[in-house]
Amino acid sequence: MSVNPADSPVFGALYGTDAMRAAMGERALLQRMLDVEAALARAQARLGIVPPEAAAAITQAAMVDRLDTAELAASTRNTGYPVVGLVRQLSMLAGPEAGKWTHWGATTQDIMDTAVVLQVRQALSLIRADLMGLNAALGRLAYAQRHTVMAGRTHLQQALPVTFGYKVAVWLSPLITMQERLEQLRPRVEKLQFGGAAGTLASLGDAGIAVQRELGNELGLAVPDIPWHVARDGLAEAVCFLGLLTGALSKLATDVMLLMQTEVAEVAEPHVAGRGGSSTMPQKRNPISCEYILAQARGVQALVPQMLGAMAQDQERGTGPWQAEPLAIGQAFLLGHGALVQARVIAEGMTVDAARMRRNLESTGGLIVAEQVMMGLAPALGRGEAHHVVHHACDLALAQGLPLASALMQDQQVSARLTPQQVAQLCDPSAYLGSTQVFIDNVLKRISS
């Protein structure tokens, strides 16, 4: 019976993805351990250490469906690790002659760490594919909405005009950086672990380095400069990356959720019948994807300190920190991928209400461009006096419910210098977008580069 909702048959539909469960689940880990054992036998057969027929028999036997999982669980409970029982069963399945060559020169942590790396390699490929898809969708959205003017908000209050395309580009820029980070970290994570009992490969004598190299080639993994049994920065970096990624996704989800509020209603998540509904309020369309992005992001970020704490490994084999890693790695990837897929759903199907954006923008009667008016009057009045005049006009507009342009024209200093048309132009939000288009172009160029 599952305890974590992300692993349950019902709640699991809300957390994570089936693809990541298949990559990071226990069944996959057992198969990856068998893959490493088989690859080790083949590598050693090429070097003349293991008979070729033994390597072939071990490879043929290395299938998770042939394991007795109940027996493996009993062995694991007794020894503290699954590898001893797994090797015993693999040796029996391979036959008495071939079986005596299994696990030659390896240690438990070699098999488990390398198996986890193989899982992580597949998991990072899943992350990469959906991150690229998300970024492409956000790029299209930023381009399509680059001229859609809306209220920019600071401290949840209308501040200055922006465009929705600019807002999307702000979401997109760190996610492009995440894609760059992912490419940079993979060589640091996707590394073979093979060092033997204490990391010296002493049991293989002069052949140790050759076996290590052949095993790396067999599995398509880089060979590290030294075994990393107690140097855990690679796996810790992978989980830290997931923390950063979900942090960036949280920004997108928070903004969309706020823009979906009934009183704002400028964007909406993709809608299908019944999605985001309430058991008592038929009108509700709740921001379900946003909510689960935020929930899963918090789950990932809670696991980051666990991985960082597990880096404090003692001597040549850790007593406890290593065992803490499996509690974090799989769940971090599962929740991280779940958040990413939800964000991609939003980006690919978001509804944008440009008319509502314009109405909200105009709801203050031009107050949102008070800075523009002040800067327009400053050459004639001086900045300080212009600030005073505009501030007074804003107070008048709020007190009497006037548009800012009307309030300004009641000031003699303004009416003596500017026509009503000029004042109206100063109060036009579309005329005060600064370098918005340049910034959007800067971000979009990073996608195409």
Q: Which residues fall within 8 angstroms of residue 288, CB to CB, at 6 or more apart?
A: 269, 275, 276
Counts for the chain of helices (H) and strands (E), in that order: 20, 4
CB 285 within 8 A of CB 268: yes
**Residues carrying an active site annotation:** 278, 317
The CA-CA-CA angle for residues 108, 304, 35, to 5°, reads: 30
What's the gap between Cα 196 and its chain centre?
34
- Measured in degrees and rounded to the nearest 5, phi and psi for residue 366 equal 100, -5
Report d(CA 317, CA 314) in Å as an integer. 6
Contacts 24+ apart (CB under 8 A), 119-122: 119/23, 119/24, 119/28, 119/29, 119/32, 119/330, 120/189, 120/190, 120/235, 120/238, 120/329, 120/333, 121/186, 121/189, 121/190, 121/221, 122/23
* Strand partners of residue 151: 161
Residue 278, Cβ density class (10 Å: 0-12 exposed, 13-18 middle, ≥19 buried): exposed
Report d(CA 322, CA 109) in Å as an integer. 9
Report d(CA 411, CA 354) in Å as an integer. 34
* Tokens of residue 391, six digits: 């501030």
* Helices 108-144 and 329-349: angle between axes, nearest 10 degrees: 20
Report d(CA 128, CA 405) in Å as an integer. 51
Enter the DSSP assignment of 310.
Answer: T
Coil/strand/helix, residue 286: coil
Closest CA to 367 of 400, 332, 415: 400
